[in-house]
Amino acid sequence: MRHNGLEKPYNWMQVSTWIILPTLLLQFFFFASPLLPLAASIPCSIAVFFFGALAAYKGYTTCITDPADDHVICHLNRQNEKTFVDEEKAEEEVKYCFACETNVHSHSMHCKFCDKCVARFDHHCQWLNTCIGEKNYQYFF
């Protein structure tokens, strides 16, 4: 089971994302920016650099955040699952995931690509090669 999107196996779409983003930024700075008037070139270059760096930061942060369900993490760490549930909420709804072989939150879903349950699963992003869920949705755009 992969813990984040930067672990193997890599996806060709993920690799192309990390190649295309810097390539597009370099193309702007070397080809498009010199064609603009100086008064427009400097603010446009600053804006493109800022948003390019922001996209790289958010993509990297989304990739390194493990979106796995807390119950799955406790199960993998061989902690006592009953104690964990009692600490959170005794009346919390759980369901059993046959693939993970443990109880998970009722709003979790199993991702067939990452082979784990993800809390509030939204989708598996092929471009970042990770699941988008509750823990990393704030970084994903």
Active-site annotation, residues:
125
Which parts of 2-118 are beta strand (E)? 94-97, 102-105, 109-111, 116-118
Report the C-alpha gap between 83 and 75 in whole angstroms: 12
Task: Encode 2-16 in three state secondary structure.
Answer: CCCCCCCCCCHHHHH
Q: Which two tokens stand for residue 55?
A: 């996209």
Q: Which two tokens stand for residue 60?
A: 């990297």
Q: Establish how many alpha carbons lie within 13 A of residue 91's alpha carbon, considering only the half-sphere containing its beta carbon.
A: 0
Using alpha carbons only, how large is the chain's radius of gyration in Å?
A: 20
Residue 73: in which H helix or E strand, if any? helix 70-76
